[in-house]
Amino acid sequence: MKADTFARLVILETLVEAEIGYFLEHHPPSSERFREGLVARVSDLVDEIDALDAVAAARAYDSIVDFLAELPDDDAGMVEATVRFKTAIQRTADRAMDEREAQQSSTWAVVLDDLLTVLADEYHDAVRADGEVRPREYRRALGLLQRARLAAERVTLREPPEVRAELRGEMDRLGYAVADRRLRAVDVDVILRGPQRIARRYRPSPLTRIGAFVISQLLRRRARGTQTP
Protein backbone atom coordinates (compact mmCIF):
# COMPACT_ATOMS: atom_id res chain seq x y z
CA MET A 1 0.00 0.00 0.00
CA LYS A 2 2.89 2.37 0.64
CA ALA A 3 3.96 2.32 -3.00
CA ASP A 4 0.40 3.08 -4.11
CA THR A 5 0.25 6.06 -1.74
CA PHE A 6 3.66 7.26 -2.90
CA ALA A 7 2.56 7.02 -6.54
CA ARG A 8 -0.51 9.14 -5.97
CA LEU A 9 1.48 11.76 -4.12
CA VAL A 10 3.83 11.96 -7.11
CA ILE A 11 0.82 12.36 -9.40
CA LEU A 12 -0.65 15.05 -7.15
CA GLU A 13 2.57 17.05 -7.21
CA THR A 14 2.82 16.63 -10.98
CA LEU A 15 -0.72 17.81 -11.66
CA VAL A 16 -0.41 20.89 -9.45
CA GLU A 17 2.92 21.79 -11.03
CA ALA A 18 1.36 21.46 -14.50
CA GLU A 19 -1.58 23.64 -13.46
CA ILE A 20 0.77 26.39 -12.33
CA GLY A 21 2.73 26.04 -15.56
CA TYR A 22 -0.50 26.59 -17.48
CA PHE A 23 -1.30 29.67 -15.36
CA LEU A 24 2.14 31.19 -15.94
CA GLU A 25 1.93 30.61 -19.68
CA HIS A 26 -1.66 31.65 -20.36
CA HIS A 27 -2.62 33.93 -17.42
CA PRO A 28 -6.33 33.01 -17.38
CA PRO A 29 -8.58 36.03 -16.81
CA SER A 30 -10.26 34.66 -13.67
CA SER A 31 -7.94 33.54 -10.87
CA GLU A 32 -10.92 32.28 -8.90
CA ARG A 33 -12.07 30.00 -11.70
CA PHE A 34 -8.51 28.78 -12.12
CA ARG A 35 -8.38 27.80 -8.44
CA GLU A 36 -11.75 26.08 -8.70
CA GLY A 37 -10.53 24.08 -11.69
CA LEU A 38 -7.37 23.06 -9.87
CA VAL A 39 -9.32 21.85 -6.84
CA ALA A 40 -11.77 19.95 -9.05
CA ARG A 41 -8.90 18.16 -10.78
CA VAL A 42 -7.10 16.98 -7.63
CA SER A 43 -9.98 16.37 -5.20
CA ASP A 44 -10.65 12.81 -6.38
CA LEU A 45 -6.94 12.07 -6.15
CA VAL A 46 -6.85 13.20 -2.52
CA ASP A 47 -9.83 10.89 -1.87
CA GLU A 48 -7.85 8.00 -3.38
CA ILE A 49 -4.91 8.80 -1.10
CA ASP A 50 -7.30 8.90 1.87
CA ALA A 51 -8.50 5.38 1.06
CA LEU A 52 -4.89 4.17 1.15
CA ASP A 53 -3.38 6.25 3.94
CA ALA A 54 -5.49 8.67 6.00
CA VAL A 55 -2.45 10.35 7.54
CA ALA A 56 -0.82 11.04 4.16
CA ALA A 57 -4.16 12.30 2.82
CA ALA A 58 -4.56 14.71 5.74
CA ARG A 59 -1.08 16.10 5.15
CA ALA A 60 -1.70 16.41 1.42
CA TYR A 61 -5.01 18.16 2.06
CA ASP A 62 -3.38 20.62 4.47
CA SER A 63 -0.66 21.33 1.89
CA ILE A 64 -3.26 22.09 -0.78
CA VAL A 65 -5.27 24.33 1.54
CA ASP A 66 -2.15 26.26 2.56
CA PHE A 67 -1.08 26.50 -1.08
CA LEU A 68 -4.42 27.90 -2.25
CA ALA A 69 -4.67 30.28 0.70
CA GLU A 70 -1.35 31.94 -0.11
CA LEU A 71 -1.62 31.76 -3.90
CA PRO A 72 -1.05 35.28 -5.30
CA ASP A 73 -1.77 36.58 -8.78
CA ASP A 74 1.77 37.66 -9.67
CA ASP A 75 4.09 35.19 -11.38
CA ALA A 76 6.99 35.38 -8.91
CA GLY A 77 4.68 34.81 -5.94
CA MET A 78 2.99 31.92 -7.77
CA VAL A 79 6.34 30.24 -8.29
CA GLU A 80 7.36 30.62 -4.64
CA ALA A 81 4.03 29.25 -3.42
CA THR A 82 4.39 26.28 -5.75
CA VAL A 83 7.92 25.55 -4.53
CA ARG A 84 6.65 25.52 -0.95
CA PHE A 85 3.80 23.20 -1.92
CA LYS A 86 6.15 20.80 -3.70
CA THR A 87 8.44 20.72 -0.66
CA ALA A 88 5.49 19.90 1.61
CA ILE A 89 4.27 17.09 -0.66
CA GLN A 90 7.78 15.66 -0.96
CA ARG A 91 8.05 15.58 2.84
CA THR A 92 4.77 13.70 2.99
CA ALA A 93 6.04 11.24 0.37
CA ASP A 94 9.26 10.74 2.32
CA ARG A 95 7.22 9.89 5.42
CA ALA A 96 5.14 7.41 3.42
CA MET A 97 8.20 5.49 2.21
CA ASP A 98 11.39 4.48 3.94
CA GLU A 99 14.66 4.89 2.05
CA ARG A 100 14.98 1.21 1.12
CA GLU A 101 11.48 1.06 -0.35
CA ALA A 102 12.01 4.33 -2.20
CA GLN A 103 14.98 2.80 -4.04
CA GLN A 104 13.22 -0.38 -5.16
CA SER A 105 12.35 -0.96 -8.81
CA SER A 106 8.96 -2.31 -7.75
CA THR A 107 8.07 0.99 -6.08
CA TRP A 108 8.89 2.98 -9.20
CA ALA A 109 7.06 0.45 -11.34
CA VAL A 110 3.90 1.29 -9.40
CA VAL A 111 4.61 5.00 -9.90
CA LEU A 112 5.23 4.56 -13.63
CA ASP A 113 2.17 2.37 -14.16
CA ASP A 114 -0.09 4.84 -12.35
CA LEU A 115 1.42 7.87 -14.11
CA LEU A 116 0.79 6.25 -17.48
CA THR A 117 -2.81 5.44 -16.55
CA VAL A 118 -3.50 9.06 -15.57
CA LEU A 119 -1.61 10.29 -18.65
CA ALA A 120 -3.92 8.26 -20.90
CA ASP A 121 -7.01 9.77 -19.29
CA GLU A 122 -5.58 13.28 -19.42
CA TYR A 123 -4.57 12.93 -23.06
CA HIS A 124 -8.10 11.88 -24.01
CA ASP A 125 -9.34 15.12 -22.44
CA ALA A 126 -6.55 17.17 -24.02
CA VAL A 127 -6.65 16.02 -27.65
CA ARG A 128 -10.22 15.67 -28.80
CA ALA A 129 -11.47 13.41 -31.56
CA ASP A 130 -12.11 16.42 -33.81
CA GLY A 131 -8.47 17.55 -33.48
CA GLU A 132 -9.05 20.29 -30.90
CA VAL A 133 -6.23 20.59 -28.37
CA ARG A 134 -7.24 21.90 -24.96
CA PRO A 135 -4.21 23.73 -23.54
CA ARG A 136 -4.83 23.22 -19.83
CA GLU A 137 -5.37 19.47 -20.12
CA TYR A 138 -2.52 19.17 -22.63
CA ARG A 139 -0.16 20.90 -20.20
CA ARG A 140 -1.08 18.30 -17.59
CA ALA A 141 -0.47 15.50 -20.08
CA LEU A 142 3.00 16.86 -20.84
CA GLY A 143 3.79 17.12 -17.13
CA LEU A 144 2.73 13.52 -16.57
CA LEU A 145 4.82 12.42 -19.55
CA GLN A 146 7.92 14.14 -18.17
CA ARG A 147 7.45 12.61 -14.73
CA ALA A 148 6.82 9.18 -16.28
CA ARG A 149 10.16 9.40 -18.10
CA LEU A 150 11.92 10.01 -14.78
CA ALA A 151 10.06 7.13 -13.14
CA ALA A 152 10.98 4.82 -16.02
CA GLU A 153 14.67 5.52 -15.43
CA ARG A 154 14.25 4.53 -11.77
CA VAL A 155 12.49 1.27 -12.68
CA THR A 156 15.44 -0.09 -14.66
CA LEU A 157 18.25 1.74 -12.85
CA ARG A 158 19.99 -1.50 -11.81
CA GLU A 159 19.09 -3.52 -14.89
CA PRO A 160 21.43 -4.46 -17.78
CA PRO A 161 21.80 -1.87 -20.56
CA GLU A 162 19.60 -3.80 -22.97
CA VAL A 163 16.73 -3.80 -20.47
CA ARG A 164 17.09 -0.07 -19.88
CA ALA A 165 17.19 0.49 -23.63
CA GLU A 166 13.92 -1.41 -24.11
CA LEU A 167 11.99 0.78 -21.68
CA ARG A 168 13.67 3.96 -22.91
CA GLY A 169 12.68 3.08 -26.46
CA GLU A 170 9.07 2.60 -25.45
CA MET A 171 9.06 5.89 -23.56
CA ASP A 172 10.64 7.67 -26.54
CA ARG A 173 7.86 6.41 -28.81
CA LEU A 174 5.29 7.64 -26.34
CA GLY A 175 7.06 10.98 -26.02
CA TYR A 176 7.01 11.61 -29.76
CA ALA A 177 3.35 10.57 -29.95
CA VAL A 178 2.25 12.93 -27.17
CA ALA A 179 4.64 15.88 -27.28
CA ASP A 180 5.53 16.15 -30.95
CA ARG A 181 3.03 14.34 -33.16
CA ARG A 182 -0.08 14.84 -31.01
CA LEU A 183 -1.58 11.64 -32.32
CA ARG A 184 -5.19 10.70 -31.76
CA ALA A 185 -5.90 9.52 -28.23
CA VAL A 186 -6.81 6.03 -29.41
CA ASP A 187 -3.43 5.73 -31.15
CA VAL A 188 -1.60 6.97 -28.06
CA ASP A 189 -3.42 4.31 -26.04
CA VAL A 190 -1.83 1.64 -28.21
CA ILE A 191 1.69 3.09 -27.89
CA LEU A 192 1.26 3.55 -24.16
CA ARG A 193 0.68 -0.16 -23.65
CA GLY A 194 4.37 -0.84 -24.38
CA PRO A 195 5.92 0.94 -21.38
CA GLN A 196 2.98 0.00 -19.19
CA ARG A 197 3.50 -3.68 -19.96
CA ILE A 198 7.16 -3.40 -18.92
CA ALA A 199 6.24 -1.52 -15.74
CA ARG A 200 3.84 -4.29 -14.76
CA ARG A 201 6.62 -6.85 -14.96
CA TYR A 202 8.23 -5.10 -12.00
CA ARG A 203 5.06 -4.15 -10.15
CA PRO A 204 4.69 -6.33 -7.03
CA SER A 205 1.84 -8.82 -7.04
CA PRO A 206 -0.45 -9.30 -4.02
CA LEU A 207 1.39 -12.58 -3.34
CA THR A 208 4.73 -10.73 -3.29
CA ARG A 209 3.38 -8.21 -0.82
CA ILE A 210 2.01 -10.94 1.44
CA GLY A 211 5.37 -12.74 1.32
CA ALA A 212 7.25 -9.57 2.22
CA PHE A 213 4.91 -9.00 5.15
CA VAL A 214 5.34 -12.56 6.45
CA ILE A 215 9.13 -12.33 6.17
CA SER A 216 9.18 -9.01 8.04
CA GLN A 217 7.11 -10.53 10.84
CA LEU A 218 9.41 -13.55 11.09
CA LEU A 219 12.48 -11.30 11.24
CA ARG A 220 10.91 -9.24 14.01
CA ARG A 221 10.13 -12.37 16.03
CA ARG A 222 13.65 -13.69 15.53
CA ALA A 223 15.09 -10.36 16.64
CA ARG A 224 12.96 -10.44 19.81
CA GLY A 225 13.98 -14.02 20.46
CA THR A 226 17.69 -13.19 20.33
CA GLN A 227 17.45 -10.29 22.74
CA THR A 228 18.91 -10.94 26.15
CA PRO A 229 16.67 -10.28 29.15
Q: Are 110 and 171 in contact (CB under 8 A)?
A: no
Residue 212 has pLDDT above 80, yes or no: no
Q: Which of 144, 154, 138 is nearest to 192 (CA)?
A: 144
Residue 225 has pLDDT above 70, yes or no: no
- Cβ-based neighbour number of residue 81 at 10 Å: 18
Q: What is the pLDDT of residue 217?
A: 46
189: exposed, middle or buried (Cβ count in 10 Å: 0-12, 13-18, 19+):
middle
What is the rounded CA–CA span in Å between residue 195 and residue 1? 22
- Cβ-based neighbour number of residue 36 at 10 Å: 11
Residue 228 has pLDDT above 50, yes or no: no
Q: What is the pLDDT of residue 31?
A: 87
Residue 224 has pLDDT above 90, yes or no: no
Residue 206 has pLDDT above 90, yes or no: no
Q: What is the pLDDT of residue 35?
A: 92
Q: What is the pLDDT of residue 180?
A: 96
Confidence of residue 114 (pLDDT cuts 50, 70, 90): very high
Q: What is the pLDDT of residues 50-79, one digit of tens each?
A: 999 999 999 999 999 999 998 888 999 999
Residue 1 has pLDDT above 70, yes or no: no
Q: Which helix (H) or strand (E) holds 224?
A: helix 206-226
Render 58-127 in DSSP notation, one character per residue: HHHHHHHHHHHHT--SSHHHHHHHHHHHHHHHHHHHHHHS-HHHHH-HHHHHHHHHHHHHHHHHHHHHHB
Confidence of residue 222 (pLDDT cuts 50, 70, 90): low
Average pLDDT over residues 180-201: 97
Q: What is the pLDDT of residue 101?
A: 87
